[in-house]
Amino acid sequence: MPPLSPAVRLADAAARGPYDGHRPDPRGQPRYAVADPGTALPRYPASQVLGPLLDLALAAESGRVRPRRVPSAGALYPVDAHVLHEGTVHRYDPVRHALTGWPSGTDTGAFVVVLSLVPERTRWKYGARALPSLLLDLGHAVAALAASAAALDVPCQVWTDPDARCLAALTGAPYSLAAVRIGTPPDLPSPPPAPRPLPTGDLVTDALTDLSPGSPAPGWTDPGQPRHPADVLLARRSADSLTGHLSSADLDALLHRTPLVAATADGLRDASGPIARGDARPVLAAWSGGGPAIAEAAAVLLFTAPLDDYRREHTDAGRTVHRAVLEATARGLAARPVGSWSANADLGAALGRPSRRSMVVHALAVGGRARPAQKELPMNEPSRAVPVGGRTRPPRERAPMDEPSRVVPVPPAPDDRSAR
């Protein structure tokens, strides 16, 4: 793997570093105005493919910029979609749910959606710290399209490492970093790549330019997206309150076939079992800059990576967390993505493993259900619970904010856990 370019390294360091004082200018926020009103598309549950598919995946709900089907860091929605159909490029307007130049009344089940980043939207709020959020948002949008295709039962493949300069030559949008293929459309044309934009001196756009080269030959893969009914996609929302308790069945379902690590009051575990004892959530709250009640969330599901394949790791993290969002929604659980992590967010090092191999890239804080009623203790059995602020809670091992080492790794079993 070639080393990260200086712009990518600096942009990541800015995102993970201390707050740099950047404040968004309320008058300078980029607008979503699309000059061409386009052709309004039918919404779900119309018996067509194109309109309902884009509706369930990317649309704003009702003529306003938000809420939308897909979450976005800071609700800034930096991902634009272009539909490529029969040699023509149509720009999607998620607010009007309309497509430019689309012949009214037509439908198709064979097209390509190219996803492009508009970095100004996220940079307006986060300044030099915008890079990871942009790529995570891209991953969420890829997964949202795959989930929509699964809900509508139409074939779908994704291509997450295209050479952005080749797709840019088709869409005219410079950071066209992913594509989703619905049905079996003809192969994409392959015009010569758009010229590499000149360095701007802006860390985020220069980093995206450095991350733009990818595979020029189409690399379509199965998205591996579990099918959820459309109602789940329509119901998704980021929650504020994430307290409660998660049963093992809920946790098992959230972790099933994922690389996610779950932090709960009881410790850390992944899809194959426990990793460490002790409550890591207060440490995670500190690592995420005091995110949305992370310390009290029923579980925090962590996506980690070594940060040596920056674009792929972040897109995969967004896709994985989006799948977990939908699984949580399907199970009636509150959830909220958390994409802001500091340079200290090194899960591997906190567990005594080599440092910088398991950096937290993205996470999902999940709320639980009301705790099941406690079984009454016999009169003469002393209670192990300690009273806290008038309520009674069982004792917990808690790691103080700055003491990740108090998360105690579970010793590996003799069989298969030596590789962890």
Ligand X SMILES: Cc1cc2nc3c(=O)[nH]c(=O)nc-3n(C[C@H](O)[C@H](O)[C@H](O)COP(=O)(O)O)c2cc1C
Where do contacts with ligand X occur on this chain (CB under 6 A)?
Answer: 67-68, 71-75, 133, 136-137, 140, 237-238, 291-292, 318, 336-340
User: 39 or 329, CB closer to ligand X?
Assistant: 329
To ligand X, the closest distance from the beta carbon of 176 in angstroms equals 19
The CA–CA distances, whole Å, from 205 to 76, 97, 120, 176 equal 16, 28, 9, 13
Min dist CB 213 to ligand X, Å, is: 23
Q: How many residues does the chain have?
A: 420
For residue 406, the minimal CB distance to ligand X (Å) is 24
Q: Which is nearer to ligand X, 188 or 254 (CB)?
A: 254
Return the amino acid letter for 265. Answer: A
Looking at the Cβ atoms of 136 and 276, the one nearer to ligand X is: 136
To ligand X, the closest distance from the beta carbon of 18 in angstroms equals 16
CA distance 113 to 69: 16
Q: Which is nearer to ligand X, 55 or 163 (CB)?
A: 55
Q: Are strands 156-159 and 391-393 parallel, antiparallel or unpaired?
A: unpaired
Distance CA 210, CA 197 (A): 10
Q: At which residue do the structure tokens 């991953």 appear?
A: 139
d(CA 296, CA 242): 7
User: Residue 65: helix, strand or coil by DSSP?
Assistant: coil
Least distance from C-beta 237 to ligand X, angstroms? 4
As measured in angstroms, the least distance from the Cβ of 338 to ligand X is 4
Upper half-sphere CA count for residue 278 (Cβ side, 13 Å) = 20
Q: Which is nearer to ligand X, 29 or 200 (CB)?
A: 29
Q: Which of 212, 204, 206, 152 is nearest to 178 (CA)?
A: 212
Complex with ligand X: residue 92 or 287, whichever CB lies closer? 287
Helix (H, G, I), strand (E, B) or coil at 284: helix
Which one, 282 or 291, has the nearer CB to ligand X? 291
Q: Residue 320: which of 254, 241, 236 has the closest Cα?
A: 254
Between 137 and 250, CB nearer to ligand X:
137
- d(Cα 183, Cα 170) in Å, to the nearest integer? 20
CB of 294 to ligand X, least distance (A): 9
Distance CA(306)–CA(261), nearest Å, equals: 15
User: What gap in Å lies between CA 66 and CA 301, rounded to an integer?
Assistant: 25
CB of residue 197 to ligand X, shortest distance in Å: 24
Residues 6+ apart with CB under 8 A from 213: 163, 164, 165
Question: Residue 98 forms beta bridges with which residues?
Answer: 40, 93
Q: Which is nearer to ligand X, 165 or 362 (CB)?
A: 362
Please, what is the minimum distance in Å from the beta carbon of residue 333 to ligand X?
14
